[in-house]
Homo-oligomer: A and B are copies of this chain.
Amino acid sequence: MRRIQCTVAYDGTLFSGYQIQPNARTVQEEIEKALTRLHGGKEVKIHASGRTDASVHAKGQVFHFDTTSTISVSQLKRGANALLPEDIVVVDTKETAEDFHARFSVKKKEYRYKVLCSKSRDVFLRHYMHHVPYELDRKVMKEAIKGIIGTHDFTSFCSAKTEIEDKVRTIYEAEIIEEGDVLTFRFVGNGFLYNMVRILVGTLLDLGNGKSFTKDISGMLEAKNRTLTGKTAPGHGLYLWKVYYDN
């Protein structure tokens, strides 16, 4: 038995998200279908680093699966790419340790969120960046995002629906990269709660747009109250950028 570690990119536009669900097109189902075909119909189940929501993209989602096949990792990559739909691509395949787990072995994850700041819509970027037609105070946002770095309870920045109890996460890096009209919000952390990046970005955009909150970022964190932060930014600006492991 060999354990294979795969990195995939996908365009989230036409998916109902990563995780398999009935009557919906999902990334997991498309990948499992392709790998099962590649194994002559023998069912393959994959385990990813985590889920992504509908319309959320991935540049570097990672999953693992087990196989008894002797196919080489490069043949596997080529074969899977020939069978996968055009909105999923295998970027890398390698053989990994038996005790590697795409979810439980994660050390850090990087998410990026892209915002197009322009008066006009851009028809070519409509599925790939969140369009903000109003003025944003970039200085205010760049100052505020620093407050997120560190180990905090992120209750205020996660969906109220979250069932996970421990909402403490460590953010190692948080910055805004400016390239002309495009702002990229970049976050690296040891883990992220449900909707956390989208609520962080939504709150930062509200701050940049001059909305006044009763508390600043550190006050929001302390309050542990979702109603004190901004709205959830739309999914199509979000990218699961990279998953970091020890190997």
A binding-site residues for B, Cβ under 8 Å: 9-11, 57, 81, 86-89, 91, 120-124, 126, 128
Given A9-B123, A87-B123, A89-B122: 8 more A-B contacts, CB < 8 Å:
A9-B124, A10-B123, A11-B126, A81-B120, A81-B121, A86-B126, A88-B123, A91-B120
Report yes or no: A86 in contact with B124, Cβ–Cβ below 8 A.
no
Bound-state Cα–Cα, A121 to B89, Å: 7
Bound-state Cα–Cα, A200 to B123, Å: 27
Bound-state Cα–Cα, A90 to B150, Å: 45
* Minimum C-beta distance from A179 to chain B (A): 14
Residues of B within 8 A of A57 (CB): 124
Report yes or no: B121 in contact with A86, Cβ–Cβ below 8 A.
yes
Residues of B within 8 A of A10 (CB): 123
Q: Summarize A's interface: helix, strand, loop or mixed.
A: loop
Bound-state Cα–Cα, A11 to B57, Å: 20
Which 6 A-B residue pairings sit nearest by Cβ, starting from the closest?
A11-B123, A89-B121, A87-B123, A89-B123, A86-B126, A9-B123
Report yes or no: B120 in contact with A89, Cβ–Cβ below 8 A.
yes
* Minimum C-beta distance from A215 to chain B (A): 35
* Minimum C-beta distance from A59 to chain B (A): 9
Partner of A87, one of B86, B91, B126, B128: B126
Bound-state Cα–Cα, A121 to B120, Å: 29
Residues of B within 8 A of A128 (CB): 124
Bound-state Cα–Cα, A91 to B91, Å: 37
Bound-state Cα–Cα, A81 to B123, Å: 11
- A–B Cβ pairs within 8 angstroms, 12 of them: A9-B122, A10-B123, A11-B123, A81-B120, A81-B121, A86-B123, A87-B126, A88-B123, A89-B120, A89-B121, A89-B123, A124-B128
CB-CB nearest in chain B for A8: B123
* Minimum C-beta distance from A88 to chain B (A): 7
Residues of B within 8 A of A121 (CB): 81, 86, 89
